[in-house]
Amino acid sequence: MVMMIMMMIYQIVNFQISTKSDVWSLGCILYSLVYNRTPFDSLRLPLLKLQAIMNPAHVIQFPETQHPHVVDVLKVNHSCS
């Protein structure tokens, strides 16, 4: 689902694919491994997910977990975008 949304973004705004998108995707995969859901899973409508992905001010939740060091890596990845 995330990849489909990313493809929609690239088609809509004609973004160039770079290493930044690779790092962002890796962060989404790591988030999914830690929390068993995607960072945008709470947003049910695809358009809302797209808006959240495009909005740099969107706040991603990082709930408590048994893996605090992995969450620290996620937060660094999030702040670099």
Instruction: Kindly give the residue spans of alpha helices, DSSP state H, lying in the chain.
Output: 2-13, 19-35, 46-54, 68-80
- Residue 18 domain-assigned (yes or no): no
12: pLDDT confidence band, cut at 50, 70 and 90?
low
Q: Record the pTM.
A: 0.69
Cα–Cα distance for residue pair 56/64, rounded to 1 Å: 23
Across residues 22-35, what is the average pLDDT? 88
**Total domains in the fold of the chain:** 1
CATH of residue 40's domain is 1.10.510.10
- Residue 8 domain-assigned (yes or no): yes
Instruction: Give 32 or 9, the one with higher predicted confidence.
Output: 32
pLDDT at residue 11 tops 70: no
- Residue 39 domain-assigned (yes or no): yes
- Residue 19 domain-assigned (yes or no): no
The residues near 27 (Cβ < 8 Å, ≥ 6 apart) are: 39, 74, 77, 78, 81
Q: Which domain holds residue 53?
A: 2-12+24-80
37: pLDDT confidence band, cut at 50, 70 and 90?
very high
36: pLDDT confidence band, cut at 50, 70 and 90?
very high
